[in-house]
Amino acid sequence: MTVPTLTGDLRTGVLPEDAVIVRARGVTKRFGGLVAVNSVDFDIPRGAIVSLIGPNGAGKTTFFNMITGAYTPTDGEISFDGKALITKSRNRVRSKKPHEVTALGIGRTFQNIRLFGTMSTLDNVRVGLHVHMRSHWWDAVLRTPGMRAEEQASIDRGMELLELVGLETRADVWARNLPYGDQRRLEIARALATKPQLLLLDEPTAGMNSSETAEMTSFIRRLREELQLTVLLIEHDMRVVMGISDRVTVLDYGEVIAEGTPADVRANPRVIEAYLGRGAAAGA
Amino acid sequence: MDQIAQTIIIGIANGMIFALVALGYTLVYGIIELINFAHGEVFMLGSFIALVLITTVFKITAGTPLALMVVQVLIVIAITMLATATLNVSIERVAYRPLRNAPKLAPLISAIGMSFVLQNVALLIFGPANDGVDRILPNINVLSVFGITNVTISAEQVFVALVTIPLLLALSWFVTKTRQGKAMRATAQDPDTAGLMGVDVNRTIAITFLIGGALAGAAGVVQILYNNTTVWNLGFRFGLNSFTSAVLGGIGNLQGAVLGAMVLGLINAFSDRYLAANWTNAIVFAVLIAILVFKPTGLLGQQLADRA
Amino acid sequence: MTAPTASTPQTKPIKPGVIGWLGSLADAAMAAPGAYRQALRRHRRRTIILTVLLILAVIYPVINREFFQAYNRSSSFPLPFPEDAVVTFMMIFCIMAIGLNIVAGFAGLLDLGYVAFYALGAYTAAFLASPHFGSVSLVLFSNVPPGFPGIHLPFWMLVPLGFAVAATFGVLLGAPTLRLRGDYLAIVTLGFGEIVPVVFKNLSAVNLDFGPIHLVNANLTGGNLGINPIDPPRFFGISFGSSSGIAAVYLGMILLVGAIVIARNLERSRMGRAWMAIREDEIAAEMMGVNLVRTKLLAFGLGASFAGVAGVMQSSYQGVTTSDFFMFSTSILILIMIILGGIGNIWGVIVGALTLTFLDKTFLPYLGQRFQAISPDLPNPSQFNFLIFGILLVVMMRFRPEGFIPSRQRAAELRHAPAGQAIGSAAVMGDAALASEELADTLAAEQVVEVETEAAVAADEAAEAEPPKDTP
């Protein structure tokens, strides 16, 4: 698949069906009395790098979690690559479970790193390969040739992915003994192991200084180009957002308050008000 | 019909004993999210302490004059409650407090170990056979006062209520009205913040164990005077029933524990009467499993925020 | 679990199919001496010690019969050498410890009712290799004369059957626990561990009138008295039951070797990694595509199957089984074995099982005899075995929760629980505030010292800690 040239209007509802990899309509999530996400419509164009931004508490991670199946929405529908993730029938909303979503081709990283700390770097990545491996427990018990071939292939593929993120020399180190930046990259390698078409990155540059951030930014761009991925980012660092996004969507109090190109969004008075308060918007 | 009424009365009486022990489970779980496996054994040791006090120290018998009996029984209750309260606090200090920062299953396993230790201590001191006292309270049917003769409420059953109800009321007052009670509820909600607000978390937890232990001691006295018997592995059956009561009512919820205990008392009474005592334990376990699988928050829901 | 890096040369291409599999077994067999020589070179002392221990263990039953037992019979100061029956039970308990290690050690699911599967395996053998169902007669590959009442299947059929029955129930009993947290899961498994033996005990007088089934006072399970006699294992005309002495021990050893191989293969596989992942962080594992339900049920099922095989061995070996053999305390005993020995580590739990079986069945009774010889008033330690085991549990949890020979992963996890899990970590600060007010409290003096060190650590952690809640 060649990365489509992403010119023109990318806003929700404008692109034809096959140019969109995720289509979300009317997605709502209520926790008791609190409405975390309120009737959000959202499209992710294929091959695009889309950023989801907004003040703390805006509902960004909740929305992520609904795409991946961790939360079931209170209302709405989401489809991925033409297949339904969230369906609604007769007022009951059903969601695919997270491991099914992963099998379909969505990978993710976490805002607070969730690696398997006492497993090696390589084994962390190999867990990511689990979903596409075929060996059963009896193959394992008998150590059939098929199983051993698959194990060796998983080691080879795991090392490839580690090379991609520059961690091939730390393959045997326990994940929790890695420095912070390496842990973030390991999380991405693990997510890539699930063979995603769509990669969800939750604050990938949190806690990084400017040179690390610049590295991560160009890395994400490389991922999109070399692996033909679509990327959805939650980000707070505006340099990253403005730097690599094809499209930016802004959430506030669970609602979409703006979307468009980075330049559009930056000048939008509602966005400024959401981040900086009414006075700042008035003065802009 | 009379049989059913009688079974109900027996169920409620035993339910009250379950309630006293269940409160210990629910208070401790509410505050440190630990299933105190050893609590049933604290109750069992309480019953043995009461046994020794009644038969050897005070030598209370059916022939003792009523006024003296009342005073002596009150003293027995006081001493037993003090002893079991101390025991429970010591257990916390030795087996649970050092593990406060350990993964959650470590104190649970430690509690199991403690439970075996206490059972075997009782076995060592008192031997394997059932032990008991002969009937002490007068053999009367309180209901005969109202002209009802085909259903019995015995003096013992009234005694059970006379001990249990004031204790439940006192506990309720303590938890809702006193400063220490508020500290307990705060610590149960969020121990870190409570500590930052100046609550002595260690002492609050110790007091929770103290109260739980005291209630178990009272239950032990009641057990001896009502069921007239005790044995080294009594704690298993009572612990099972009391813990199930606490879970049924909603673990962490005090009213729930009492409600659950009543239900379990009835289940036990009906199962013993109409099925076979052999099956009762299995049925109680089945009830416990059913609650945990289908409605883990219990009947009255969780009073406390669910800390994941 | 260390993984070879991609730079490890792949010596031979992997051939497919059954021939390829047999070929790989042959390759492994031929590579073994080379691997052994390499181990000798790399860790000379350890390899030699382990080899000697292994040889001693294998020939122990013979040495025991020829020398130790004769010594004990003739000496006035006998020594606690385990007899054949005890060594056979050591093998049985090792198999169960390995099985429970899969559930609790690999997958991190605390099963307090493991004895249920032991019972299921034992009763499977009891039903299918005894005169119990006297109204039918089914004799297959057994040296029991044809026409003899009851069902009589040979041992080599019973083992996979026990495996399958226990595995099935492992899945059935594990299914309700899937969404429960650690301590609730433990309680539910405990419940099943109690219910199953009670069911076996009480089905001794069943009256059932349901459709085509008419049972009047049917003795399905033998109740308290149990079922006996159960056919002993028999190969090549030799009995391997309890009357055979050494032969049974070696049968047990063979089963144990099989258990070790299976467990090791599972550990170093896709499933093994999935179990470790869900133990570390179940949510992250699910997000990475691990099917939690299937993975956990597999742990329960496969773990239970080991106990099933152990149960088949028990009832075939002893020739009798009753519900009294299967009590809650047995589940806890096996738990102690893996906790003491080293949770998560196959060799650790084997050491734990050997040690505890020795303590329980040989050493404590031996002490009892010695004490009795000195004075009949002294208590008999073997009656208070669980007092000792209970103290052991409390002490181990306090000082060495990972056991003596743990897997490095579990040791690391148990020693450095993440700060978020700690209950009352701010208790330290609360104490500091009040310590100055409490004059006569000797405890305060201890806690001040604790406070100073812990406050320093807490300050460091606070500086690095990320906010605990995800922003929604």
State pLDDT tens for residues B25-58. 999 998 888 999 999 999 999 999 999 998 888 8
Kindly determine whether residue B292 and residue C397, on different chains, have CB atoms separated by under 8 Å.
no
Give domain status of residue B61, yes or no. yes
**Contacts A174 to C, Cβ<8 Å:** 412
Alpha helices in A89-237 (DSSP H): 98-104, 121-129, 137-142, 145-165, 180-193, 210-227
Interface membership of A262 toward C (CB under 8 Å): no
Min distance B39 CA to chain C CA atoms (Å): 15
- Domain count along chain B: 1
**C-alpha distances in Å from residue B42, one per residue of B36, B48, B111, C446:** 10, 10, 12, 28
Contact C290 A191 (CB under 8 A): no
* A272 has a pLDDT exceeding 60: yes
Residue matched to tokens 């401790």: B28
Name the neighbours of B, counting chains with at least 3 Cβ pairs within 8 A.
C
Q: Which residue of C has its CA nearest to A192?
A: C288
Asked if A273 and A281 touch (Cβ cutoff 8 Å), the reply is yes
Nearest CA in chain C to B91: C394
Which of C21, C286, C409 is opposite residue A144, by nearest beta carbon? C21
Average pLDDT over residues A117-124: 93
Length of chain C equals: 472
Least CB–CB distance from A123: residue in C273, C286, C292: C273
pLDDT at A89: 82
For residue range B105-121, list pLDDT tens digits in order: 889 999 999 999 999 99
Contact status of A180 with chain C (Cβ, < 8 Å): no
What's the rounded Cα separation, in Å, for the pair B7 and A279?
74
pLDDT of residue B258: 93
Alpha carbons C454 and C419: distance in angstroms, whole number: 12
Is B288's CB within 8 Å of C191's CB? yes
Q: Which of residues 6-35 of C touch A (CB under 8 A)?
A: 6, 10, 14-17, 20-21, 24
Q: How far is C250 from chain B (nearest CA, A)?
A: 34
B305 within some domain: no
Cβ of B282 and C383 within 8 Å?
Answer: no
| pLDDT value for C234 | 82
Q: Is residue B302 part of a domain?
A: no
Best of C423, C443, C457, C461 to substitute, by most chain B Cβ atoms within 10 angstroms, is C423
Interface of A with C in 67-96 (CB under 8 A): 68, 70
SS (H, E, C) A87-123: EEECCEEEECCHHHHHHHCEEECCCCCCCCCCCEHHH
Q: Which of C394, C414, C428 sits opposite B114 (nearest CB)?
A: C394
β-strand partners of A201: A233
Residue C111 in contact with partner chain B when CB distance is under 8 A: no
* Residues of B whose CB is below 8 A from C112: 112
Residue C230 has a pLDDT of 85
For C430, the closest of B95, B105, B199 (CB atoms) is B199
Q: What's the CA gap between A135 and A148, in Å, rounded?
A: 9
Name the range with the highest mean pLDDT among A35-44, A204-213, B63-72, C91-100: C91-100
Tokens of C256: 């144990």
Residue pair B258/B17 in contact (Cβ under 8 Å)? The answer is no
Mean pLDDT value of segment A231-252: 90
Cα–Cα distance, C183 to B288 (Å, whole number): 13
Q: Which domain holds residue B289?
A: 2-294
Query: Exposed e or buried b for every residue in B2-37, given b needs 16+ CB within 10 A?
Result: eeeebbbbbbbbbbbbbbbbbbbbbbbbbbbbbbbb
**What does the mean pLDDT of chain A come to?**
88
- The residue extents of the domains of chain A are 1-105+196-284, 114-195
Query: Cβ A99–C262 below 8 Å, yes or no?
Result: no
Check CB contact of B114 with chain C, cutoff 8 Å. Answer: yes
Structure-block tokens of residue C428: 């330290």
Q: Supply the angle between the helices C292-318 and C270-280 in degrees, to the nearest 10.
A: 110
Q: Is C414 close to B196, i.e. CB distance below 8 A?
A: no
A140 vs C271: CB contact, 8 Å cut-off? Answer: yes
CB A123, CB C287: distance < 8 Å? no
Q: Assign residue C226 a region: left if phi > 0, alpha if psi is -120 to 50, beta otherwise?
A: left
Could B113 and C424 be called an inter-chain contact, meaning their C-beta atoms sit closer than 8 Å? no
With b for 16 or more beta-carbon neighbours within 10 A and e for fewer, the C392-427 pattern comes to bbbebbbebbbbebbbebbbbbbeeeeeeebbbbbb
Scan residues 403-422 of C and list those with Cβ closer than 8 Å to A. Answer: 408-409, 412-413
CB-closest option in C15, C262, C283 to A145: C15
Contact C393 B112 (CB under 8 A): yes
pLDDT at site A233: 92
Instruction: Measure the CA–CA gap between C377 and C394, rounded to whole angstroms.
Output: 29
Range with the lowest mean pLDDT among A125-129, A278-282, B176-180, C338-342? Answer: A278-282
Pick the closest to residue C113 from C162, C159, C168, C170 (CA basis). C170
Which residues in chain C are contacts of A120 at CB distance < 8 A? Answer: 1-3
Query: Do residues A18 and A26 make contact, with C-beta atoms less than 8 angstroms apart?
Result: no
Mean pLDDT of chain B: 88
Q: Could you tell me whether strands A34-45 and A83-89 are parallel, antiparallel, or unpaired per DSSP bridges?
A: unpaired
Q: Does C391 touch chain B (CB under 8 A)?
A: yes
pLDDT of residue C425: 31
Collect all residues of chain C within an 8 Å Cβ-Cβ radius of residue B107: 397
Give the CA angle between residues A66, A72, A78 to the nearest 5°: 55
Q: Cα separations (Å) of C304 from B13, C102, C315?
A: 41, 9, 17
Return the pLDDT at C207.
65
Is residue A80 within a helix (H) or strand (E), and if so which, with residue range? strand A75-80
Q: Distance (Å, rounded) from C-alpha C347 to C-alpha C98?
A: 9
CATH number of A114-195: 3.40.50.300
Assess whether pLDDT exceeds 50 at residue B75. yes
Half-sphere exposure of residue C387: CA atoms within 13 angstroms, side-chain side: 16
The 10s digit of each residue's pLDDT in B215-259 is 999 999 999 988 889 999 899 989 999 999 999 998 888 889 999
Altogether, the residues listed in chain A come to a count of: 284
Paired strand residues for A88: A93
Whether the bond between C467 and the residue before it is cis, its omega within 30 degrees of 0, is no
Number of alpha carbons in the 13 Å side-chain half-sphere of residue A25: 9
Q: How far apart are the first and last CA of chain C?
A: 35
C15: helix, strand or coil: coil
A282 or C71, greater pLDDT = C71
**A and C: number of Cβ contacts within 8 A:** 156
Q: Name the 3-class secondary structure at A85.
A: strand
pLDDT along chain C (472 residues), means of 10: 46 71 80 80 82 86 81 78 89 96 93 94 91 79 78 90 96 90 87 88 71 69 78 81 84 94 94 94 93 95 96 93 89 94 92 94 88 81 88 92 85 63 33 34 39 42 42 40
CB contact (8 A) between residue C425 and residue B115: no
Range B264-292 average pLDDT: 88
Q: Which pLDDT does position C442 carry in this prediction?
A: 36
Nearest by CB to C426, which of B108, B121, B192?
B192
Residue of chain A nearest C407, judged by CA positions: A118
User: Which of C269, C268, C290 has its CA nearest to residue C279?
Assistant: C290
Q: What is the pLDDT of residue A80?
A: 92
Residue C430 confidence (pLDDT): 33
The closest CB to that of C280, out of A118, A139, A156, belongs to A118
Closest-CA residue of C relative to A200 is C287
Task: Indicate yes or no: pTM above 0.95.
Answer: no
Domain A1-105+196-284 in CATH 3.40.50.300? The answer is: yes
Q: Please name the residues between 26 and 55 in chain A that touch chain C, using a CB distance below 8 Å.
A: 36
Give yes or no for residue B84 having a pLDDT over 70.
yes
C470 interaction partners in chain A (CB closer than 8 Å): 61, 111-112
Within 8 A of C290 by CB-CB distance, chain A residues are 99, 127, 130-131
Q: What is the pLDDT of residue C348?
A: 93
Q: Give the span between the Cα atoms of B196 and B199, in whole angstroms.
A: 7
Fold identical between A1-105+196-284 and A114-195? yes
Q: Which amino acid is at C81?
A: F
Q: Is residue B303 part of a domain?
A: no
ipTM: 0.90
B281 interaction partners in chain C (CB closer than 8 Å) = 194, 198
